[in-house]
Amino acid sequence: MLSVAEAQARILADLVSTGPELVPLADSWGRIAAADIAARLDNPPADVSAMDGYAVRAGDCAPGGTLSLVGESPAGHPFPGRVGPGETVRIYTGSVVPDGADAILIQENAQEDGGTVTVAVPPGAGQHIRRRGQDFAVDQVVVPAGRALTARDIGLAAAANHAWVAVRRRPVVAILSTGDEIALPGDPIAPGGIANSNTPMLAALVRACGGVPVMLPSARDTVSDIARLAHGIETADLLLTAGGASVGRYDLVQQGLERIGLTVDFWKIAMRPGKPLMHGRIGRVSVLGLPGNPVAALVCGLVFALPAIRALAGHAERSLPEDVAILGGDLPENDRRADYLRATLSRAPDGRLLATAFSRQDSAMLHTLARSQALILRPPHAPPARAGEPCRVVRLDMLAI
């Protein structure tokens, strides 16, 4: 069986990011920059005042001295002249500093009377002046390609004079759940039936990764129904299936998809939950066959679909947030499958992060999954571990998934 790292590498190996599209800057939140965004101007575009007061020549200012007021520089209306010896110009926060001036005398430290300004406390040279380009300079990259735009990036790109930005097209991810027993949530559940939790859960995961989920109707456990529902999948960027991945008589996802051209890259990995994971391709579309047990579907979704969707979306950051914690309880020796244990997080008295695994790790138990703040990572063949020992965790509490 393949290791988790090998499986991840093979899934990512041939994924190509989607192409760019232009969107209005204000609509670009959470989108992935398709190219570096470079400043179209210096910011500030000129030397400007950081305070309301008077533009002066610092050398002319002495306590009790007077200056002659020769004009005004309101924001957006720069003073056209020059501040000569013994002169000053009224100025405001954000206004352009006139030529000749080299400091701002704040108005609390001055007294204006007619055409004269009396200095109470002189400013130091350069004081209260924001220099041209001190925030960023023209042509400087302010948002690098591959970054998911935040509100702060949008403010920055706007300041850099961009109205539109090139972002990656969101990858379209089709989701196909299989199983005679599954019904739409809210519908009557027949005897032996179960509400379909995987499809809406995976759709939310896709959306959180920056993709556009397309929820296909669920397939019955027949080769023909699976092939029928996945027909035409070539227009998607990725197909996620859930269920029918294991070895039972009715686990028919591979056979169903083979009818429409699936070639399998690998099947089964050394991971718990998630052993029957399958990866393959139908034409240009990558296929991830997730196990049906909902916890296995979601954990495999995090470990394999998340980096794949982020790669398709052109996201520079593809890995899950990890941390080191100390174990809140003893753990037994592990077998050959990498284990992902649902756990809560708290703080030990010394402030260290404490990860405590739920006692039951059945991969059908969604309630413990929803309550988990972390997944404790147990490498294959890990020896028994005692409470207080360090462990690696995936920080589910840092993912809005």
Ligand X SMILES: Nc1nc2c(c(=O)[nH]1)N[C@H]1C(S)=C(S)[C@@H](COP(=O)(O)OP(=O)(O)OC[C@H]3O[C@@H](n4cnc5c(N)ncnc54)[C@H](O)[C@@H]3O)O[C@H]1N2
| 10 alpha carbon, distance to own chain's centre | 23
Task: Choose which of 8, 18, 28, 198 interacts with ligand X (CB under 6 A).
Answer: 198
Residue 182 interacts with ligand X (CB under 6 A): yes or no: yes
361 makes contact, choosing from ligand X, ligand MOO, none, with CB < 5 to 8 Å by partner type, with: none
Task: Choose which of 113, 247, 347, 400 interacts with ligand X (CB under 6 A).
Answer: 247
Phi, psi of 117, deg, nearest 5: -120, 125
CA distance 194 to 218: 12
Taking the complex as a whole, the smallest distance from the CB of residue 242 to ligand MOO amounts, in Å, to: 11
Task: Choose which of 95, 293, 356, 372 interacts with ligand X (CB under 6 A).
Answer: 293
* Site string (343-382) toward ligand MOO, x via CB under 6 A: --------------------x-------------------
User: For ligand X, which residue has the nearest CB?
Assistant: 292
Residue 47: name the closest of 108, 127, 158, 157 by CA: 127
Residue 291 interacts with ligand MOO (CB under 6 A): yes or no: yes
Record the tokens describing residue 332, joined without a space: 């037994």
Sign, Cα dihedral of 159, 164, 167, 171 = positive
Residue 251 interacts with ligand X (CB under 6 A): yes or no: yes
Record the tokens describing residue 126, joined without a space: 């350069």
Residue 296 interacts with ligand MOO (CB under 6 A): yes or no: yes
Task: Choose which of 42, 181, 237, 339 interacts with ligand X (CB under 6 A).
Answer: 181
Minimum CB distance to ligand X smaller for 32 or for 245? 245
Taking the complex as a whole, the smallest distance from the CB of residue 24 to ligand X amounts, in Å, to: 37
Q: From its phi and psi, is residue 13 left (phi > 0), alpha (psi between -120 and 50) or beta?
A: alpha
Taking the complex as a whole, the smallest distance from the CB of residue 244 to ligand MOO amounts, in Å, to: 13
CA distance 55 to 397: 51
Residue 272 interacts with ligand MOO (CB under 6 A): yes or no: yes
Taking the complex as a whole, the smallest distance from the CB of residue 202 to ligand MOO amounts, in Å, to: 15
Residue 342 interacts with ligand MOO (CB under 6 A): yes or no: no
Residue 62 interacts with ligand X (CB under 6 A): yes or no: no
Task: Choose which of 17, 18, 196, 356 interacts with ligand X (CB under 6 A).
Answer: 196
* One-character DSSP codes across 348-389: -TTS-EEEEE-S---TT-HHHHHH-SEEEEE-TTPPPB-TTS
Residue 361 interacts with ligand X (CB under 6 A): yes or no: no
Residue 293 interacts with ligand MOO (CB under 6 A): yes or no: yes
Residue 299 interacts with ligand X (CB under 6 A): yes or no: no
Query: Are 171 and 177 in contact, with CB atoms under 8 Å apart?
Result: no
- Please give the angle made by the CA atoms of 41, 42 and 47, to the nearest 5 degrees: 135
Phi, psi of 220, deg, nearest 5: -75, 165
In this structure, the chain runs to a length of 401
Task: Give the binding-site size for ligand X (rule: CB under 6 A).
Answer: 27
Q: Which helix (H) or strand (E) covers residue 173, if one does?
A: strand 172-177
Question: Can you give the binding site for ligand MOO, defined by CB under 6 A?
Answer: 272-275, 291, 293, 296, 363
